[in-house]
């Protein structure tokens, strides 16, 4: 099994929306992925606590796949690419790791 973890820091303003608005949109898009991409075994999305250090990343997405082939299919799936297109315009930073569990 492969675990995919990706974290983002968002711009204070982007695409005419506030940071919070863009984080909320991204969270909703991530939450909808499992409905569209059936080979996501398990996933979750979390937003950094408002009380936490503001230098932390703003959003984390964790998804498990049965194998690397499914992760690779996910990376080019149209629903994922739609999310990527949105995120690339509203993020400042991205960090990602994929590993076997």
Output the six-digit token pair for 11: 């711009």
Give the domain extent around 81.
2-100
Output the six-digit token pair for 25: 């949109």
Q: How confident is the model at residue 69 (pLDDT cuts 50, 70, 90)?
A: very high
User: What's the CA gap between 36 and 100, in Å, rounded?
Assistant: 23
Among the listed residues 32, 31, 89, 99, the one whose alpha carbon sits nearest the alpha carbon of residue 60: 31
Output the six-digit token pair for 90: 């509203």
**What are the Cα distances from residue 85, in Å, to 43, 50, 71, 89, 90?**
20, 26, 18, 7, 9
**What CATH number is associated with residue 27?**
3.30.70.100
Domains in the chain, number: 1
pLDDT per position as a tens digit, 18-52: 999 999 999 999 999 999 999 999 999 999 999 99
- Confidence at residue 71, expressed as pLDDT on a 0 to 100 scale: 98
- Confidence at residue 82, expressed as pLDDT on a 0 to 100 scale: 98
- Confidence at residue 72, expressed as pLDDT on a 0 to 100 scale: 98
């Amino acid at each position: 099994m492969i675990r995919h973890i990706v974290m983002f820091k968002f711009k204070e303003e982007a695409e005419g929306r506030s940071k919070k608005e863009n984080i909320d949109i991204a969270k909703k898009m991530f939450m909808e992925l499992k409905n569209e991409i059936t080979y996501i075994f398990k996933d979750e999305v979390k937003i950094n606590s408002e009380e936490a250090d503001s230098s932390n990343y703003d959003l984390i997405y964790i998804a498990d796949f049965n194998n690397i082939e499914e992760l690779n299919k996910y990376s080019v799936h149209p629903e994922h690419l739609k999310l990527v297109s949105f995120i690339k315009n509203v993020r400042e930073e991205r960090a990602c790791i994929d590993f076997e569990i």
